Amino acid sequence: MSQEPATSDKASTDRELHSQEKIWKHFQNAAKGSFELAWPRLDALVRKTARLVARLPGERARRPVVLNIGVGDGRFEQQAAARGWEVHSLDPDAEALARLKSAGVTTHVGIIEQLPQEDSSIDVVIASEVLEHLTDAQRRAGLAEIARVLRAGGTFLGTVPYAEDLAAGEVICPDCGLVFHRWGHHRSFQNGDISRELSPFFSSVQESRTAFVSFSRGIVGNLKSVARWLLAKLGQPIAVPSIVWQATK
């Protein structure tokens, strides 16, 4: 007669089934082309970071220390490093991080709840489309860690999907029957949610709703981008709006 697995074995199996590491290992390596849709968002964050670091004093403006959490396809890190910044990237996936070493990026295999950086050592932290992947406990621990590593007056930039219908993103594994969100999302955010979650850790938080669009696609393409941007400002789901924030320590 077969026996049920020991409690510790079953708990380990449950953690493995619900782990996002396999999801992100797939998208960041075998399917990294899926991140091309995120390029306008990442490019906008590079520009926003550039405006922030330009206001830093002295050598910090010339060689700011920037940490990006969640590597994706590495586009943010590559552009940031090309500007001469000291760029750090944190992600659980060593394979995806390895591609960045040739660009001069300092890579760290790890998780947001346990950042390896020293206290008050980073000028700008980026976490774009990251917080929705975390449980409530992980998110609180991660925000505390980001506040810890930021220098006084440092900035935390990030984005999350706005009013995401999590159920619409659910899929089922045809092998084991596990139902999961195809991108590994745990949380949907409405207006004001980010400010409430970040306020205990940062002196000021600014958030807004927008869509990140490209304006280099010809007349028709640019008109579509304007329309999507306007619809996102109105919170229309068809525009796939994002919440973007800037928090100061």
pLDDT confidence of residue 122: 98
pLDDT confidence of residue 17: 41
pLDDT confidence of residue 5: 38
* Residue span of the structural domain in which 205 resides: 7-248
Q: pLDDT tens digits for 35-69? A: 999 999 999 999 999 999 999 988 888 899 999 99
Q: Is residue 171 part of a domain?
A: yes
The CATH number of the domain holding residue 200 is 3.40.50.150
Percent of the chain with pLDDT over 70: 92
More confidently predicted of 146 and 14: 146
Q: Is residue 49 part of a domain?
A: yes
Q: Is residue 2 part of a domain?
A: no
DSSP letter for each residue of 30-87: ITGGGGGGGHHHHHHHHHHHHHHHTTS-HHHHHS-EEEEE--TTSHHHHHHHHTT-EE
Q: Is residue 1 part of a domain?
A: no
Alpha carbons 164 and 44: distance in angstroms, whole number = 21
pLDDT band at 217 (very low <50, low <70, confident <90, very high): confident
What total number of domains does the chain contain?
Answer: 1
Q: Is residue 196 part of a domain?
A: yes
Does the pTM surpass 0.85? The reply is yes
Alpha carbons 85 and 172: distance in angstroms, whole number = 42
Work out the mean pLDDT of the chain and round it to a whole number: 89
Helix axes 75-82, 39-53, angle to 10 degrees: 30
Of 186, 238, 239, 234, nearest to 208 by C-alpha is: 234
Q: pLDDT tens digits for 133-186? A: 999 999 999 999 999 999 999 999 999 999 999 999 999 989 888 888 888 999
Q: Is residue 136 part of a domain?
A: yes
pLDDT confidence of residue 243: 98
Percent of the chain with pLDDT over 90: 68
pLDDT confidence of residue 19: 65
Is 243 exposed, middle or buried, given 0-12, 13-18 or 19+ CB atoms closer than 10 A? buried
Q: Is residue 137 part of a domain?
A: yes
